[in-house]
Amino acid sequence: MNWINSYVDDYYSWLREKTFIQQGPTTDWFLINTPFVGAFNDSIEIYARKDGEKLILSDNGETMANLELQGLHIQGSKKRRDLLDSILLNYGIHSESNELFIETNLENFSQSKHNFLSAIIEVNDLYVLSNNNVASIFKEDVRNYLDSQDIIYTPDFISKGATGLEFNFDFQIAKKNKEIVIKSFNTIHKQNLSTFLFSWEDIKPVREKTTKKDVSAIAVINDIDKQIKTEYLDALKAKNADFILWSERDSGKNKGLLAA
């Protein structure tokens, strides 16, 4: 036996030593506490039950609940849901009411347990979408929506303002007599709202002088599973900037803003 075989054997022994099993006093489910680390640096736990010759493994809904606690709402985006579904399909895992589970034959226990743990670990990694990347995901959602409405736009539009500074907007829509600049907000707060209003007001007179068109601005705000403060919407109105709440994007009024 060479040195690597020895270390692999040690690894298998470590896995077994760090795996703890217990059965609830009033249930036929067994809890398997694994040495693999979960979302909050705690152990990943899976639940196993035998039903005749059938094996059922479940996470009891903990994986999805942990993502929610980290600020990642899968149902808020088709792209995120597609990412999740792709992972689950790859490992043969099902999802129902946020519970992940797998049903198979008992003789497939080893492979099924391995697949189930692999899926949970990969789903846990989706948490990276809850920070900086989630804004990019929402921007992509807005882009897909514009595409679905057959709206012609320029992405990542840059324009110089009266102060001489250049500002970036997510999208620009050029009409015959009007120009619209759009900024997407996955999360809106005083700082990014103030920046948006300043940048729009700074480019507005320059763009209108250059293009001979009226220039308007639209803030597209993600309000899925979050409350948007009225003061932010009032600030947009006070500056004559339009806004579209993502949950209301298909209303006639909001479609009219984009088509105006």
pLDDT digits (tens), the chain, 260 positions: 567 788 778 878 888 999 999 987 888 999 999 998 887 888 999 999 999 889 999 999 999 998 888 777 787 677 778 889 999 998 899 999 999 999 999 999 988 998 899 899 989 888 766 555 566 678 889 999 999 999 999 998 999 889 888 888 999 999 989 999 999 998 898 888 988 999 999 999 999 999 999 999 999 999 988 899 999 999 999 999 999 999 999 999 999 999 86
Select from 152, 208, 202 the least CA-distant residue to 177.
208
Asked whether 113 and 57 are in contact (CB, 8 A), the reply is yes
Q: How much helix, strand and coil, in percent to the nearest 5, is found in the chain?
A: 50, 30, 25
pLDDT of residue 206: 94
Q: Is 243 helix (H, G, I), strand (E, B) or coil?
A: strand
Q: Which residues face 159 on adjacent strands?
A: 167
pLDDT of residue 1: 57
Amino acid residing at 218: I
In the block, residue with structure tokens 């149902």: 75
Asked whether 244 and 259 are in contact (CB, 8 A), the reply is no
> Beta strands 166-174 and 154-160: pairing type?
antiparallel
Q: Of all helices (H) and strands (E), which one includes residue 116?
A: helix 109-124
Extract the tokens encoding 73: 């709402």
Q: What is the DSSP letter of 239?
A: T
Interatomic CA distance for residues 163 and 158, integer angstroms: 14
Q: Which residues face 179 on adjacent strands?
A: 174, 215
Interatomic CA distance for residues 189 and 177, integer angstroms: 32
Select from 231, 206, 201 the least CA-distant residue to 217.
201
Interatomic CA distance for residues 237 and 169, integer angstroms: 19
Q: What is the DSSP letter of 228?
A: P
pLDDT of residue 255: 93
Interatomic CA distance for residues 240 and 222, integer angstroms: 20
pLDDT of residue 131: 53
32 CB neighbour count, 10 Å cutoff:
18
Q: Of all helices (H) and strands (E), which one includes residue 88?
A: helix 78-91
In the block, residue with structure tokens 């808020």: 76
The alpha carbon of residue 36 and the mean position of all alpha carbons in its chain are separated, in whole angstroms, by 24
Q: Is 57 helix (H, G, I), strand (E, B) or coil?
A: strand
pLDDT of residue 74: 80
